[in-house]
Amino acid sequence: MEIILISSSLLGGVLLSLIFKPDDILARKLAAAYIWLVLVLIAITWVFYFAGIKDQFISGLLGGIVSSGKYPARILLGYLTTSIFLFVRSGDDFEISKLIRLTLTGVSLATGFSFLIATEGKAANMGEMMAFFKQSGYAVWFLYFIMTAEALGAIGVLLHFKLKTGTLATTGLMLIMIGAMYTHRHNKDPLSDSYAAISQFMTLGIMLFLFYFEREVNSLRLKTEKTSPVAAAVTS
């Protein structure tokens, strides 16, 4: 049921962008709102999982926010990604690169910190994780490898704008999610055990599209700058 809601949220955002196409100002405002929503959800998630809150009411409230907050975030992500695609295809004259950067900032924060939180969760429950990996037929060293790979992938996503590591890190994390889904299927676990991996895989796939758009738009901008009359006058 959860994976259906997540997929529906993304699809809902896609349909909204097709019906209500934003202008450049609205698109940037929505992207900024997406970043703030992601930051709030990250903070609440950290508190919920690692602050050791004993009060059941507060814990339940935070858990509810963490569970339900992902849906408006997915709607915004679907809306913004489809809007970027439409703007790129139509050649609308506005700062598309800025919108791509804002959207990538939001989804990179969401993805990077979710993997860091997951890795910290594994580290806090090493006994259970070792038992699961042994039950699945894996060596203990493989658990440490996966934890390290997830952490490095998360850092690579978060540092994309500095090191341009987003595409490589995202691809690596997608491979890990495929492995996670295969493991649960091999173990004959219920499909619900794979929901987190499926959800992350979808988000990572969207990120690859955004990295592609970013590269194409930047490449087109460089070509335009080189062929502009001003550039031609300077180089002549």
Q: Could you report the per-residue pLDDT of 116-148, keeping only the tens digit for each?
A: 999 999 999 999 999 999 999 999 999 999 999
Statement: the pTM of the whole predicted model exceeds 0.75: yes
pLDDT in tens, 165-217: 999 999 999 999 999 999 999 999 998 888 889 999 999 999 999 999 888 88
DSSP letters along the chain, please? -HHHHHHHHHHHHHHHHHHS---HHHHHHHHHHHHHHHHHHHHHHHHHHHS----HHHHHHHHHHHHHHHHHHHHHHHHHHHHHHHHHHHT-SS-HHHHHHHHHHHHHHHHHHHHHHHHHHHHHTHHHHHHHHHHTT--HHHHHHHHHHHHHHHHHHHTHHHH--HHHHHHHHHHHHHHHHHHHHHTT--GGGGHHHHHHHHHHHHHHHHHHHHHHHHHHHHHHHHHSHHHHHHH-
